[in-house]
Structure 1
Amino acid sequence: MLTDAERAVDAAVAVIRARALQHRPRVGLVLGSGLGRIAERIGNAVTIPYDTIPGFPRPTVAGHAGHLVVGELGGQTVACMQGRVHAYEGKGFGALRLAIRSLHRLGCRTLVLTCAAGSLDVDVGPGRLMLIRDHINLLGVNPLTGPNDDAFGPRFPGLTDAWAPSLRAVMQDAAAEMGLPLAEGVYAALSGPCFETPAEVRMLRILGADAVGMSTVPECIIARHCGMAVAGCAVITNLGVGLSDEQVSHTHTLAQASVAASDLERLLIGFLKRLG
């Protein structure tokens, strides 16, 4: 007998397949703040608003369009989430679990996550890209909290290689081939919506974080729970508070992310081409 969660995923997948019948996506892609225009490069695209897919999240933040775009990018068939929800929106993680599990049920076995982030390393400034090697979950919550649904994954999933080393190697090879500087580091996720204080930035650096943001880690955890391989890349939009005199704001984040989106686009296409 199907669980309620399985039935909800099946309902979402049925709508997506009915709208994008000709596509069988193998790679899922999540676009972060200010990075939505990358979806415009997807060929033979079918765009499905989240609000027409039962149970899908409804983003409420500027820079997150709320569309699922299915089509071809870099020689791969992708299902691209153009926008995400965040812990600070106060909606819980039920809709996000459903969305990521729907990508898996559609056939995606690889998930590529992108986000905007603040750098904690003064040598990796605004406009740079950082490949996520590992993460620190400081959200105060875990998206798998609550009863486990064994149909999707185990009660206690391991996160030793949460960010797949093999995919990171492919990403680094793609960056090297195009001469694109690509840093690599640890991403810390805080709940937001406030930006960090200077003291919090100092704490994060002591903990070993290289960048900080308000997303991305929940999607990684959900994807690993159901067996997907995960890669992630952060667009650095600012230095952490106290590391420069620059004023941090969401408007600034969106503007800086948009500037770096072209480099991220090139990197993602090169990465997808190398997946074979």
Structure 2
Amino acid sequence: MTNFEEMKKAVIKRVNLVPRAALILGSGLGYLTDQFSEPTAIEYCEIPGFPNTTVEGHSGRLVFGVFHGLPVVAMEGRFHFYEGHEIKDVSAPIYLFKELGVENLLITNAAGGINRSYTPGDIVAVTDIINFGFRNPLRGQNEERYGVRFPDMSEIVDRNWLNELRVRLDNEGIDLKEGTYCWALGPSYETPSEIKAFESFGADLVGMSTVPEVIAAKHCGMKLLVLSCVTNMASGILKEKLTHADVVKTANRIRPRFTSIVRQAIESIKVNKS
């Protein structure tokens, strides 16, 4: 029995709900679980072999419930490589979700804006990634039960899901940008020279998460949508210095709009049959 099967056994002892979708909630975004009906929360430390989070703004629990008519599970707090986790621990939740029957994964994050057309508070649908962390959770022996040895990464998001979301947001007058997300290891923020390099690679956003989870989700054959909240402009784009407090402050400021976008993303799953 794999570690993920053991994790699943521990979870289903506590929860009867079978989630159709999973949400990974980034810095300052855990409040979304307050809107779940019939919620059941499991602390990470209660799941054998499951990592724990140490970052401010990440509470560290799985919350199961019904969100706008859809059974879901959400991570309140994700794992970052810079916390000292092994890369396979960073991606472990994806494989637990797979064991639980999750087919749709919505990843959110707080990111720095590189694209000068962005402003703090913008929401961006990530349509491609740059793995500048140079770590891959698929390194080592492949688990064929989850996916193929060499998964295709030419299209990371489910376009039908994204297109349905865009139609819904257009009807509400909500702007959703698109861009490429670059993963930097952290925990130090990037230097201005690094940001210039990332910009030359084609990056629109930079952050310290998401890419390992995207790779694992593609390995598992999940339908994927990634939404970045631009909480600050990246180093060197503006003169202001960067602080984590500002990241959380911006995430809190855009709560109503971000909540509406996530709600519409979940509603979109119901009609996305691809």
Q: TM-score, normalised by structure 1?
A: 0.94
Greater than 6 Å deviation, 4+ residue runs: none
The one of 236, 248, 252 equivalent to 2:242 is 248
The answer on whether the counterparts of 2:87 and 2:135 sit within 8 Å (CA) in structure 1 is no
Q: Determine if the alignment matches structure 1 residue 88 to structure 2 residue 82.
A: yes
2:49 aligned counterpart, secondary structure:
coil
Residue matched to 1:36: 30
Q: Aligned-pair distance for 1:205?
A: 1.1
1:81 aligned counterpart, secondary structure:
strand
The one of 149, 157, 168 equivalent to 1:163 is 157
Q: Aligned-pair distance for 1:28?
A: 0.7
Q: Aligned-pair distance for 1:262?
A: 2.3
CA–CA distance in structure 2, aligned partners of residues 200 and 218 of structure 1: 20
2:92 aligned counterpart, secondary structure:
helix
CA–CA distance in structure 1, aligned partners of residues 156 and 117 of structure 2: 26
Residue matched to 1:24: 18
The one of 61, 64, 74 equivalent to 1:70 is 64
Residue matched to 1:197: 191
Q: Determine if the alignment matches structure 1 residue 9 to structure 2 residue 4.
A: yes
Q: Aligned-pair distance for 1:18?
A: 1.6
Q: Determine if the alignment matches structure 1 residue 229 to structure 2 residue 231.
A: no
Q: Aligned-pair distance for 1:125?
A: 0.6
CA–CA distance in structure 1, aligned partners of residues 49 and 173 of structure 2: 41
Counting only pairs closer than 5 Å after superposition, residues 111-130 of structure 1 correspond to structure 2 as 111-130=105-124
Q: Aligned-pair distance for 1:233?
A: 0.2
CA–CA distance in structure 2, aligned partners of residues 93 and 202 of structure 1: 26
Q: Aligned-pair distance for 1:63?
A: 0.8
2:180 aligned counterpart, secondary structure:
strand
Q: Aligned-pair distance for 1:156?
A: 1.0
Mark the runs of 5 or more structure 1 residues left unpaired by the alignment. Answer: none
Residue matched to 2:213: 219
The one of 140, 148, 151 equivalent to 1:146 is 140
The answer on whether the counterparts of 2:131 and 2:182 sit within 8 Å (CA) in structure 1 is yes
Counting only pairs closer than 5 Å after superposition, residues 98-137 of structure 1 correspond to structure 2 as 98-137=92-131
The one of 17, 38, 41 equivalent to 1:47 is 41
Mark the runs of 5 or more structure 2 residues left unpaired by the alignment. Answer: none
Measured against aligned partners, the alpha-carbon deviations of 1:66-115 in whole angstroms (never above 9, x if no partner) come to 11000111221101011101111121123333321111111110100000
2:10 aligned counterpart, secondary structure:
helix
Cα root mean square deviation, aligned: 1.2
The answer on whether the counterparts of 1:74 and 1:270 sit within 8 Å (CA) in structure 2 is no
Q: Mean alpha-carbon deviation: is it higher for 78-87 or for 164-173?
A: 164-173
Measured against aligned partners, the alpha-carbon deviations of 1:3-30 in whole angstroms (never above 9, x if no partner) come to xxxx211111112112111x11010110
2:13 aligned counterpart, secondary structure:
helix
Q: Aligned-pair distance for 1:238?
A: 0.8
Residue matched to 1:239: 233
1:48 aligned counterpart, secondary structure:
strand
Q: How many residues align?
A: 270
Q: TM-score, normalised by structure 2?
A: 0.95
Q: Aligned-pair distance for 1:203?
A: 1.0
